[in-house]
Amino acid sequence: MGISKDLLEILACPKCKGEVLLNEAEDGLICSTCEVLYEIREDIPNMLIDEAIPLSKS
């Protein structure tokens, strides 16, 4: 089913409160400001800061 566009419009990064975008594979939300990926599991975004996956290697 995937995540709805209405939900995407209201979601924000819990760390910086910035915009999150659906990644290409549609299995995560990316915050480009914080450079992290929040996974989507069973159509539910996991927006826990401690479980975010860093995008940069530095």
pLDDT in tens, 3-47: 888 999 999 999 999 999 999 999 999 999 999 999 999 989 999
Is the predicted pLDDT of residue 1 greater than 70, yes or no? Answer: no
Locate the domains of the chain by residue range: 5-54
The label of the residue with tokens 């929040």 reads 38
User: What pLDDT is recorded for position 3?
Assistant: 85
CATH architecture for the domain at 5-54:
Single Sheet (2.20)
Of 19, 11, 7, 14, nearest to 49 by C-alpha is 14
User: What pLDDT is recorded for position 58?
Assistant: 58
User: Quick one: 14 exposed, middle or buried, by C-beta within 10 A (0-12, 13-18, 19+)?
Assistant: middle
